[in-house]
Chain A
C-alpha cells in the first residue's frame, strides 16, 4: 500500500511536468492537443541520441553520477533535448496548427493534433525501430527505505522527483514574479486585451510551446529513466496527462501539478483493488469522477 503510494508520487512527478505544458496550450490556444504526449517521445529520443553522441565523443562523461544511472552525458542531453523539443513544438505550431487555426476553428485543431500524433509517433517508430530502448543498460538497484512494510525506491526515481519539483518551482517563480509571467497570464485571460496593452501575442504563443515542449521533454526523459523509451510512449501517456489537466482544471498550472500527482497516486493505488491489466482505464475513470463531482476541475473556471 505505502509502496503504491510512493510509486504514485514518482509517476506523478512526470505526469505533472507533461500536464503543465498541455494545460497552458489548452488555455491559451483553446484546443485539446492530442499530440502533446508526442513531445514527450521527441524529448526522450532526442536525449537518447545526444546521450550516445556525447558518450562516444567524451568518454569521461559516460561515468555515472553517484548512485544514479544518470551520466554527465545524459545531464547535458536533457538540456539540449529541452531546447530541441521546445523548438519542434514551435515549428509544429507554425507549420500545422497555426495554418489550421486560420482556416477552421478550434475543433479542426483537435483533428489536426490527432493526425500529428499519429504521424510523429510512427515516424519515430520508423526511424528508431519499434523495440524499447534504455538510457543505461545497467540494472539500477533499488534502495530499501524500510523492510516492514517493505519500501523500495530507486535512486533515479528520487532524482526525478526532486528535479521535477525544482523545475515546477522555477516555473512558479517565472509566472508569478516576472513581467513575462504576467504577460503570459494576461494572454491566457484575454488575448485581445493583452494585445492592446502591448503584449506580443505571437511571441507569447511561441513561449507557451517552448515551455510546454521543454517540460514535456523532461517528462519524457524521466519516464524513460523510470521505465523504458518506446515509440508508443506518447500513446500510453496521453490519457493520464489529459486526466491530470482535467482533474486540476484546464488552464491552471498549479492544478496541473496537483492533478498529475493525484492521477499518478490514484493509478497506483488502484492496483490494490484492480488487476494490473486495468490500469490504462484508471485515468478515464478519474476523468468521469471529476466531471461528475466538479466539472471544471480543482482550480478551473467555467468557460465556454
Chain B
C-alpha cells in the first residue's frame, strides 16, 4: 500500500512539474500563437542553471556555487529567460516559420552543447552533487517527497493564478488581439513585436521554472533529460488539454504523463522481450499519433478555450466556444 502511495506521490510530482511547463507553453502558443519548437531548451536551461548555481563543488565541471536555493531557482529561470530573449529578439519580427525553426535549432544546439562542454556541464555524465533544499532537515525518504510534491503543487497553483490573472488583464486581451489580427492591433497603436517578445520570454521563464524543479527533484540532470521527445510530450499535453485553456493544459499534462508511464509499464510488463527493445519507438509513434490525431479530429482539445468577455459592467464569462487552435 505504502508502495502505491509513494509511487503516486512520485508520479504526481513529475506530472505537476510538467504541468507547469505546459502552462508556460500555453501562454506562448495558446494565448499568443507563438510556436515554440524548443520547449526542452528552456526546460534544460532551468535545470542546468539551478543545479550549477546551487550545487556543491564538483571536480571536472563548473558549478558548486552553493547558492541559497531560491536564488539558484531564480538563476535557472533567468537563464531560460535570457536564452528565449535572444531567440525571440532575432526571429519574432519575421514570418512565423522562423521562430519554429530557430527554437527547434536552440533545442538541438542546447543538447549538443550540454553533451560536449564537459568543463561547464559535466558532459554526458551530467551534473551531480546537488543537495536538495531542506534535505538535512527532513531526510530523503517518503516525507521529503511528500513535502516536495506540496511545494511543486504550490508553484503550480501560483503559476496558474498568475496566468489566469494575466489572461483577463488588459495585457492578456492584447495577446489575443495580436493573435487574432495583428494588423488591427497595430492600427490601435500597439506594438505586436514587443508584446510577443514579452509573452515568449515569460512563457520560457515559466518553462524554466519547471526545469529547475525537475532538476531539483532528481538532484541530477544530464543530456538525457533534454532530448527532443520532451518537447513533443509537452506539446501533446497542451494539444490534448486544449490550447488557450489553463485548466485543460494542466489536465492534459496529467493525462498524457499518465498514458506515457502506463504504456511504458505495460510494454515492459506484457510485451515479448524482443519487442521491448523497441519500447521507445512504439511510445514515440503513439505520441506522434496523439498530436496528429488531435489536430485532425479535435483541434480545439478536450477542454476548448473559453473566450473571456471582459467588458466593463458585464464581466461575465462567454460561452464555451469551439474555436480551434489559433
Say if the beta carbon of B102 comes within 8 Å of chain A. yes
Q: Is the CB of B108 within 8 A of A280?
A: yes
Q: Is the CB of B295 within 8 A of A118?
A: no
A-chain residues with CB within 8 Å of residue B228 when the two chains form the complex: 235
Q: Is the CB of A114 within 8 A of B108?
A: no
Q: A103-B324, A118-B284, A119-B289 are in contact. Are A108 and B299 (CB under 8 A)?
A: yes
Q: Which of A87-131 touch B at CB < 8 Å?
A: 96, 99-100, 103-108, 110-112, 114-119, 121-123, 125-126, 130
Measured CB to CB, the nearest residue on chain A to B38 is A284
Q: A118-B232, A122-B281 are in contact. Are A246 and B292 (CB under 8 A)?
A: no
A94 to B96, CA, bound (A): 23
Say if the beta carbon of B98 comes within 8 Å of chain A. yes
Q: Is the CB of A108 within 8 A of B113?
A: no
Count of chain A residues with a beta carbon within 8 Å of a chain B beta carbon: 51
Say if the beta carbon of A233 comes within 8 Å of chain B. no
Q: Is the CB of B91 within 8 A of A291?
A: yes
State the majority secondary structure of interface residues on B.
helix
State the majority secondary structure of interface residues on A.
helix
Q: Is the CB of A119 within 8 A of B292?
A: yes
A284 to B91, CA, bound (A): 13
From A104, A291, A304, give the contact of B102 (CB < 8 A): A291
Number of A-B contacts (CB under 8 A): 147
Q: Is the CB of A119 within 8 A of B288?
A: yes
Q: A31-B97, A291-B102 are in contact. Are A125 and B278 (CB under 8 A)?
A: yes
Q: Is the CB of B285 within 8 A of A110?
A: no
From A34, A115, A119, A281, give the contact of B295 (CB < 8 A): A115
Q: A104-B325, A122-B285, A287-B105 are in contact. Are A111 and B90 (CB under 8 A)?
A: no
Q: A111-B235, A130-B281, A287-B101 are in contact. Are A122 and B288 (CB under 8 A)?
A: yes
Measured CB to CB, the nearest residue on chain B to A96 is B292
Say if the beta carbon of B100 comes within 8 Å of chain A. yes
A215 to B307, CA, bound (A): 45
Q: Which of A248-304 touch B at CB < 8 Å?
A: 250, 275, 277-278, 280-281, 283-285, 287-288, 291-292, 295-296, 303-304
Q: A26-B97, A115-B295, A287-B101 are in contact. Are A278 and B116 (CB under 8 A)?
A: yes
Q: Is the CB of B277 within 8 A of A107?
A: no
A288 to B102, CA, bound (A): 8
Say if the beta carbon of B296 comes within 8 Å of chain A. yes
Say if the beta carbon of B79 comes within 8 Å of chain A. no
Q: Is the CB of B288 within 8 A of A115?
A: yes
Q: Is the CB of A125 within 8 A of B232?
A: no
Say if the beta carbon of A32 comes within 8 Å of chain B. yes
Q: Which of B268-314 touch A at CB < 8 Å?
A: 277-278, 280-282, 284-285, 287-292, 295-296, 299
Say if the beta carbon of A135 comes within 8 Å of chain B. no
Q: Is the CB of A106 within 8 A of B96?
A: yes
Q: Is the CB of A114 within 8 A of B232?
A: yes
Measured CB to CB, the nearest residue on chain B to A103 is B299
Q: Which of B60-114 touch A at CB < 8 Å?
A: 90-91, 93-98, 100-102, 104-106, 108-109, 112-113
Q: Is the CB of A288 within 8 A of B285?
A: no
A-chain residues with CB within 8 Å of residue B106 when the two chains form the complex: 284
| B241 CB, nearest partner CB in chain A, Å | 14
A112 to B100, CA, bound (A): 13
Q: A111-B235, A126-B285, A239-B108 are in contact. Are A287 and B116 (CB under 8 A)?
A: no
Measured CB to CB, the nearest residue on chain A to B284 is A122
Q: Which of B211-266 touch A at CB < 8 Å?
A: 228, 232, 235, 239
A-chain residues with CB within 8 Å of residue B200 when the two chains form the complex: none
| B227 CB, nearest partner CB in chain A, Å | 10
Say if the beta carbon of B37 comes within 8 Å of chain A. yes
Say if the beta carbon of A242 comes within 8 Å of chain B. yes
From A112, A126, A284, give the contact of B109 (CB < 8 A): A284
Q: Which of A112-169 touch B at CB < 8 Å?
A: 112, 114-119, 121-123, 125-126, 130
B-chain residues with CB within 8 Å of residue A103 when the two chains form the complex: 295-296, 299, 324
Say if the beta carbon of B43 comes within 8 Å of chain A. no
From B97, B101, B287, B295, give the contact of A111 (CB < 8 A): B295
A-chain residues with CB within 8 Å of residue B291 when the two chains form the complex: 111-112, 114-115, 118
| B171 CB, nearest partner CB in chain A, Å | 22
Q: Is the CB of A100 within 8 A of B108?
A: no
From B96, B115, B232, B296, give the contact of A277 (CB < 8 A): B115
Those 3 A-B pairs whose CB atoms lie nearest each other, nearest first: A118-B288, A115-B291, A284-B105
Given A235-B228, A242-B105, A292-B90, list of 8 further CB < 8 A pairs? A96-B292, A110-B96, A111-B291, A118-B291, A239-B108, A280-B108, A281-B113, A296-B94
Chain B residues in the interface with A (C-beta under 8 A): 33, 35, 37, 90-91, 93-98, 100-102, 104-106, 108-109, 112-113, 115-116, 228, 232, 235, 239, 277-278, 280-282, 284-285, 287-292, 295-296, 299, 324-326
Q: Can you list 19 A-B contacts with CB-CB less than 8 angstroms, sorted by A residue number?
A: A32-B97, A103-B295, A104-B326, A107-B33, A107-B96, A110-B96, A112-B291, A115-B290, A115-B295, A118-B287, A118-B288, A122-B282, A242-B104, A243-B105, A246-B101, A284-B106, A284-B108, A284-B109, A292-B90
